Structure 1
Amino acid sequence: MSAIAWIAMGSLAAWGWLLLGQGFFWRTDQRLPASHARVEPGSWPRVAIVVPARDEAEVLPLSLPSLLSQDYPGDAEVVLVDDGSTDGTGKLAGELAARYGGLPLTVASPGEPEHGWTGKLWALRHGIGLARARDPEFLLLTDADIAHEPDSLRRLVAAAVGSDLDLVSQMARLRVASLWERLVVPAFVYFFAQLYPFRWINRRRRPLATAAAGGCVLLRTETAERARVPESIRQAVIDDVSLARAVRRAGGRIWLGLAERVDSVRPYPRLADLWRMVSRSAYAQLRHNPLVLAGTVAGLAVVYLAPPVALLAGLADGDGVAAWAGGLAWAVMAGTYLPMLRYYRQPLWLALTLPFTALLYLLMTVDSAVQHYRGRGAAWKGRTYSRPEAAPDR
């Protein structure tokens, strides 16, 4: 066989494994678990909602009112931590609370982060500290660009109490409106699920993966204290995965799934916006290891890029094995992408574009490494972390 035929056969074998052996990552049926024990009226635990916010005046009118209007039967409050904003985020939050009413709101500002802290985790430290003074049983950690349906908090708490979970996290449905969002956003969630299969995370016995989605995390306060969150992960740029690992090390039970009633309202209309979102943390995910980067690039090329190249080359050169193996691998790839496109209510023909999107992610990852070695890694909203940690060990 030709070299390209061998590569195509290797890609097909890889897709056979991904289809059946990677925790059925491509399925989208991991949704918020129904409670197994009813939470009776009067016994709903106290919850503090902590929202770190830095220059979020654009999206706050779409997200904060949804938190203030939560239909929660127990005691709850919102703590918004203004992390050095220059666009009036804190003042706007107070105005929105006065206009909409609902849950009580506290707006605070911790000042610039101390050395060794990322901005978001420094803000969470301050917000959690304020919240603990009210002795909440649960903390809802949610980003300032996340909008919640009125029953979101009730459903999260019911799942945590009913299923005896220490951390319940939902991956918010990201905005998909522009052409680039349609091409990149569903694939972002697809790749995340491939790396951290939700079924493996949600196993009670011997979980094979650990992760969370930072936009929506309900965390038991006692477990947070036992895991020393957020102090134990203070340098983490990929804070959601680091948080889940800290909770797991502390003996906590974790659940992660796709959201049905939690949405991100942040727009990413241009490719440059999405590029920054991915590249700021891609190399940190690889622990800044050049060998892991090289392996990742090679793996993406063989698994995602080789099938269409082999199909076209095989048809052009009359190489039947290359064309057959490449075409079948591409078909399996597209088939595994269909459930995610349905979840995002996108045209199913976009499944054929996954190799192109994978090429974009490959380039974003390489750019992330380049920016890291230039000392501009993990730049976000005016802050740059030159050598951030993906998930500190202690």
Structure 2
Amino acid sequence: MSAVAWIAVGSLAAWGWLLLGQGFFWRTDQRLPTGHARVEPAVWPRVAVVVPARDEAEVLPLSLPSLLVQDYPGEAEVLLVDDGSTDGTGKLAGDLAARYGGLPLTVTSPGEPEPGWTGKLWALRHGIALARAREGGGPDFLLLTDADIAHEPDSLRLLVAAAVGNELDLVSQMARLRVASGWERLVVPAFVYFFAQLYPFRWINRRRRPRATAAAGGCVLLRTETAERARVPESIRQAVIDDVSLARAVRRAGGRIWLGLADRVDSVRPYPHLGDLWRMVSRSAYAQLRHNPLVLAGTVIGLAVVYLAPPVALAAGLFGGDGTAGWAGGLAWAVMAGTYLPMLHYYRQPLWLAPTLPLTALLYLLMTVDSAVQHYRGRGAAWKGRTYARPDPRPDPRPEAAPDR
């Protein structure tokens, strides 16, 4: 066989494994229980909603009111932490609270982050400390949600019911990202697809011996007692990919975790142009690879073999007479496209986009390489005027893992 044929066969074998052996990552059925499947607590816990916000005046009118009008039977409040905004985010939040009413809102500002802290985690630290200092005791749960996340009125109720009913310490939903422009249609569903491939939700949600750990930072309900035991956010203060680091800290402290796709939580942040999406991915892609050049090289080779080789091999079969390369590449491409269909359906996108996944994978490959280039130029992990260096390799003292409950 030719070299192209061998690569195509290898790609087909890889897709056979991904289809059946990677936690059925391509399925989209990991959702919060609703309706009759939901068991509500007899006494609703107290909740503090902590919203870190930096220059979010554009999206805040679409997101903050959805938190203020939550239909939650228990006691709840919203703490918006204005992280050095220059666009009037804090004042706008107060104006929205006066207009919509609902849950009480506190707007606070922690000042510039201390050395060794990322901005979001510094803001969360301030908001969590403020919530815990309330008279009458701190909250039972913390809802950590980004300023661009809009919640349906029953979102908080569903999250708390899931946590209490299933004895979970962290419940996280991956918000449905905005898909409106052509570039968003091409890139956004694949972003969630790749994330689920890396962190299969079924593996994360296993009660015993979970094989993966992750969370989605836009919507995290966290038990306060567990946060204290895990020393969150102090123990992860340098993390650029804070959601995965948060989940790992909770699991090390013996906490139970659940992650799934959201039906009633949406991101309202627009990414209309390719450059917007490029910056979203590239700012943290190399951090995901632990800033390791060898891991980067392996990732590039893996993406090329798994995603790019099938269409190339099919073309070699059709136009170059390489029959083995053609059928192996075509079959691998068909399996690839088939695994992408559920995610396109979840995002309400046309299914004919499934065969374009190799093109999207090429874009992600280039974004990842660019992330590494920007890191070595000293511009890695840049976000809203801040650039974060590679974290200190010296580990913080970690809480001992508690046994399964």
TM-score range, shorter chain: over 0.9
> Would the aligned equivalents of 2:176 and 2:266 in 1 still touch at CA under 8 Å?
yes
Distance 2:399 2:330 in 1: 40
Q: 1:317 deviation in Å?
A: 1.0
Residues 89-136 of structure 1 deviation map (CA, whole Å, 9 limit, x = unaligned):
000000000000000000000000000000000000000000112370
Query: Are 2:40 and 2:161, in contact at CA under 8 Å, matched by a contact in 1?
Result: no
Note if contact 2:285-2:368 (Cα within 8 Å) is conserved in structure 1. Answer: yes
Cα shift at 1:355: 0.1
Cα root mean square deviation, aligned? 3.2
Q: What is the alpha-carbon distance in structure 2 between the residues aligned to residue 259 and residue 99 of structure 1?
A: 28
The secondary structure found in structure 1 opposite 2:121 is helix
Residues 19 and 120 from structure 1, CA distance in 2 versus in 1: closer, same or farther, beyond 3 angstroms? same
User: In structure 2, do the counterparts of structure 1 residues 389 and 335 end up closer, same or farther at CA, with 3 Å as the change threshold?
Assistant: farther
| 1:3 aligned onto 2:14 | no
Q: Label 1:236 to 1:39 Cα distance change in 2 as closer, same or farther (>3 A).
A: same
Per-residue displacement from partner, 1:170-225 (whole Å, max 9, x unpaired)?
00000000000000000000000000000000001000000000000000000000
Matched, 1:392 2:403: yes
In terms of mean alpha carbon deviation, does 312-321 or 52-61 score higher?
312-321
Aligned equivalents of 2:117, 2:42: Cα separation in 1: 39
Task: Work out the CA distance in 2 between the residues paired with 1:137 and 1:53.
Answer: 23
Cα pair 1:146 1:263 within 8 Å, conserved: yes
Structure 1 260/371 Cα, relative in aligned 2: closer, same or farther at 3 Å?
same
Question: TM-score of the superposition, structure 2-length normalised?
Answer: 0.94
Q: Does the C-alpha gap of structure 1 residues 216 and 199 become closer, same or farther in structure 2, counting only changes over 3 Å?
A: same
What is the CA distance between 1:239 and its match in structure 2? 0.2
Following the alignment from structure 2 to structure 1, what is the Cα–Cα distance between the partners of residues 294 and 62? 42
Contact 1:378 1:388 (8 Å CA) reproduced? no
The 1:389–1:79 alpha-carbon spacing in structure 2 relative to 1, beyond 3 Å, is: farther
Q: What does residue 287 of structure 1 align with?
A: 290
Change (3 A) 1:311 1:389: farther
- For 1:52-96, what per-residue CA distance to the aligned partner results, in whole angstroms no more than 9, with x for missing partners? 000000000000000000000000000000000000000000000
Matched-pair contact (CA < 8 Å) for 1:37–1:162? no
Counterpart Cα distance in 2 of 1:75 and 1:130 = 16
Are residues 342 and 391 of structure 1, via their aligned partners in 2, closer, same or farther at CA, if it must alter by over 3 Å? farther
Superposition TM-score, scaled by structure 1 size: 0.97
Residue 58 of structure 1 aligns to a residue whose secondary structure is: coil
Deviates more, 1:144-153 or 1:32-41: 32-41
| CA distance in 1: counterparts of 2:401 and 2:190, whole angstroms | 21
Post-superposition Cα deviations, 1:307-330, rounded to whole Å, max 9, x if no partner, equal: 000000111111110000000000
| 8 Å CA contact 1:36, 1:163 repeated in 2 | no
| Contact 1:37–1:161 (8 Å) recurs in 2 | no
Change in 2 beyond 3 A, CA 1:204/1:34: farther
Equivalent-residue separation in structure 1 for 2:403 and 2:269 (angstroms): 28
Q: Does structure 1 retain, via aligned residues, the 8 Å contact 2:254–2:402?
A: no
Count residues in correspondence. 394
CA 1:389–1:275: 2 relative to 1, 3 Å = farther
Q: Decide whether aligned partners of structure 1 residues 221 and 202 sit closer, same or farther in structure 2, where only a CA change above 3 A counts.
A: same
Q: Distance in 2 between matches of 1:220 and 1:213?
A: 16
Q: Which runs of 5+ in 1 are unaligned?
A: none
- The runs of at least 4 consecutive aligned structure 1 residues that moved more than 4 Å come to 34-42, 387-394
Closer/same/farther in 2, CA of residues 195 and 393 from structure 1, 3 Å limit: farther
1:373 Cα deviation after fit: 0.3
**Matches of 1:201 and 1:221 in 2, distance apart?**
21
Question: Whole-Å Cα distance in 2 between the matches of residues 363 and 276 of structure 1?
Answer: 12
3-state SS of the aligned residue for 2:386? coil
Q: 1:23 to 1:271 in 2, by over 3 A?
A: same
Offset of residue 299 of structure 1: 0.0
Among 347, 352, 362, the residue aligned to 1:344? 347
Q: Report the 3-state secondary structure (helix = DSSP H, G, I; strand = E; otherwise coil) of the residue aligned with 2:40.
A: coil
Instruction: For residue 151 of structure 1, report the CA deviation from its aligned partner.
Output: 0.2
**Cα distance, 1:250 vs structure 2:** 0.2
Indicate if the aligned counterparts of 2:78 and 2:104 stay in contact, CA closer than 8 A. Answer: yes
Q: 1:392, CA displacement in angstroms? A: 22
